[in-house]
C-alpha cells in the first residue's frame, strides 16, 4: 500500500518539466490525428474550439481534452518501490475509441499514445516504446 501512496503523492506533485513533456507529447499525438483522422479532430474542435489555440502561451491547456480514468499499479520488486511511476489511461477527445495512455518511470516520460496495456516493470518485449505511435520523447 505504501508503494501506491508514494506514487499518488508523486502524481499530485509532478515536476513542471514532466508535465510540460506530457503536454508536448500530447500535442504531437493530436497533430498526428489531425493529419490522419481529421474528422475526429473536427469533432473535438466542435467541443473545445481550436485545441492548440492557447498551446504556445499555456501548453497545459491541451490537458482539457483528456480525461484520465485509470492509474495502473503493477507489482514490482520491493527494491524498486521508491522509483516513481505514472501509468495513466483514459479518454482523449480527439482519438475516438483509441483513448490515451501516458507512462513514465523515474521522471522519464516513456510513452504517450493510444490506450494500450503497459507494465512498466515487465522485462518482456519493449516494442511499444519504440513504436512510431509513441509520441513521448520525440522533441
Give one DSSP letter per residue of 75-109, joined into a string.
---GGGTTS-EEEEEEEETTSGGG-EEEEEETTEE
b/e 100-109 (16+ beta carbons within 10 angstroms → b): bbbbbbeeeb
pLDDT exceeds 90 at position 85: yes
pLDDT exceeds 80 at position 112: yes
At residue 21, the pLDDT reads 95
The model's pLDDT over 88-106, given as tens digits with 9 standing for 90+, comes to 999 988 888 889 999 999 9
pLDDT exceeds 60 at position 139: no
CB 30 within 8 A of CB 23: no
The model's pLDDT over 31-79, given as tens digits with 9 standing for 90+, comes to 998 888 888 777 777 777 788 888 999 999 999 999 999 999 988 888 9
pLDDT grade for 127, boundaries at 50, 70 and 90: low
d(CA 18, CA 94): 22
**What is the pTM for the complete model shown?**
0.89
Spell out the residues 6+ positions from residue 42 whose beta carbon is closer than 8 angstroms to its own.
none
- Return the residue matching grid coordinates 490525428: 33
**Percentage above 70 pLDDT, the chain:** 94
Amino acid at each position: 500500500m505504501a508503494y501506491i501512496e508514494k506514487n499518488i503523492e508523486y502524481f499530485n506533485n509532478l515536476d513542471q518539466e514532466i508535465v510540460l513533456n506530457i503536454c508536448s507529447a500530447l500535442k504531437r499525438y493530436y497533430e498526428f490525428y489531425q493529419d490522419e483522422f481529421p474528422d475526429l479532430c473536427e469533432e473535438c474542435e466542435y467541443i473545445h474550439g481550436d485545441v492548440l489555440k492557447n498551446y504556445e502561451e499555456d501548453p497545459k491547456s491541451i490537458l482539457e481534452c483528456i480525461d484520465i480514468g485509470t492509474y495502473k499499479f503493477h507489482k514490482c520488486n520491493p527494491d524498486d518501490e521508491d522509483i516513481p511511476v505514472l501509468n495513466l489511461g483514459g479518454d482523449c477527445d480527439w482519438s475516438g475509441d483509441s483513448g490515451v495512455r501516458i507512462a513514465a518511470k523515474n521522471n522519464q516520460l516513456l510513452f504517450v499514445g493510444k490506450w494500450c496495456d503497459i507494465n512498466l516493470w515487465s522485462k518482456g518485449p519493449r516494442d511499444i516504446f519504440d513504436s512510431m505511435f509513441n509520441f513521448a520523447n520525440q522533441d
